[in-house]
Amino acid sequence: MIAPVRTAIFPVAGLGTRFLPATKATPKELLPVLDTPLIQYAIDEAQAAGIERMVFVSHPSKRAIERHVMDDARLRYELQSRGKSDLAEELAEAAFSRIDDDVVFTMQNEPLGLGHAVLCARDHVLPGAVAVILPDDLIRGEGCLGEMIDAYKRNNAGHMVATMTVPREETKKYGILSVLSQDGSVLLADGMVEKPDPADAPSLDAVVGRYVLDASIFEALETQTPGAGGEIQLTDAISRGAGTVGLAGFRFSGERFDCGSKAGMLKATLSLAEDDPECSEVLDEFTLSRGKALAA
């Protein structure tokens, strides 16, 4: 019997350099897609997957994330006293309470890499495998983490990473899985290569920001030497575990948007706008007027 995945780690301490100047004062994870910050989509996905404890690895300069995530009694009181009780209620419902919810904030004081950020969560996780969610990868659809945890349990996987197929010319942007065999949406792998040249890519299965990792990942991270960019890379530590605990890729069913980049953020916004009655009309009007202007 495989133990349930009880903890989700949210590494949110990075510098967000690809999205400067927007991220100079606003954490990348709080940038909104329509009216909802990226971190909220990630939290909703973890909740839908049945996660018990959420561990946020943040940075002292990014306290605004904690303010978004946790209940704000003062704001609630102000809204109530202005007759906006419904709004107060709505906000309180979406936020975590320090008493009723199992939420931990811990700090990564220096952005030493994603692997280092995950290691910072070590003392705060519940026993068993852990999930890691990168909030800047927004995945629409059936709830990627939930699907992945189901597959993890069925396949007795050691480390499992979310994967999607990319065009060969884009392998340089991703960690690429070295695939041995495939069973439905699960890929058995013996390692992964960080950002390979198209000619050297072992497959076209790129790793994106959802992981379910055997608890041995923390030991591996502790002895992990800096890799690409001088950072402690999570992918390096996962790769080392391939020979011991095993490694699998999971082809999720949803659509992923890289909201750490301008183009990805725009695509995510358009995708959500299409499904939002308030926005879809605006989008249609815009597309129509652009079409007419082009035709003229």
Residues contributing to the site for ligand UTP (CB under 6 A): 11-19, 28-29, 57, 108, 111-114, 116-117, 134-136, 260
Q: How far is the CB of 42 from ligand UTP (least distance, A)?
A: 9
Task: Read off φ and ψ for residue 135, nearest 5 degrees.
Answer: -65, -20
Show the tokens assigned to 156.
């007795």
Q: How far is the CB of 134 from ligand UTP (least distance, A)?
A: 4
**C-alpha atoms less than 13 angstroms from C-alpha of 244 in its C-beta half-sphere:** 12
Q: How far is CA 8 from CA 124, 212, 273, in A?
A: 10, 9, 28
Cα 75 to Cα 176: distance, rounded to the nearest angstrom: 45
Cα 255 to Cα 252: distance, rounded to the nearest angstrom: 8
On the 0-12 / 13-18 / 19+ scale of CB atoms within 10 A, 153 is: middle
Q: Is 224 helix (H, G, I), strand (E, B) or coil?
A: coil
Q: Which residue is nearest to ligand UTP (CB)?
A: 14
Q: How far is the CB of 137 from ligand UTP (least distance, A)?
A: 8
**Which of 132, 247 has the CB closer to ligand UTP?**
132
**Which of 19, 41 has the CB closer to ligand UTP?**
19
Q: How far is the CB of 88 from ligand UTP (least distance, A)?
A: 29
**Which of 191, 260 has the CB closer to ligand UTP?**
260
Q: How far is the CB of 258 from ligand UTP (least distance, A)?
A: 8
Cα 185 to Cα 203: distance, rounded to the nearest angstrom: 15
**Which of 111, 146 has the CB closer to ligand UTP?**
111
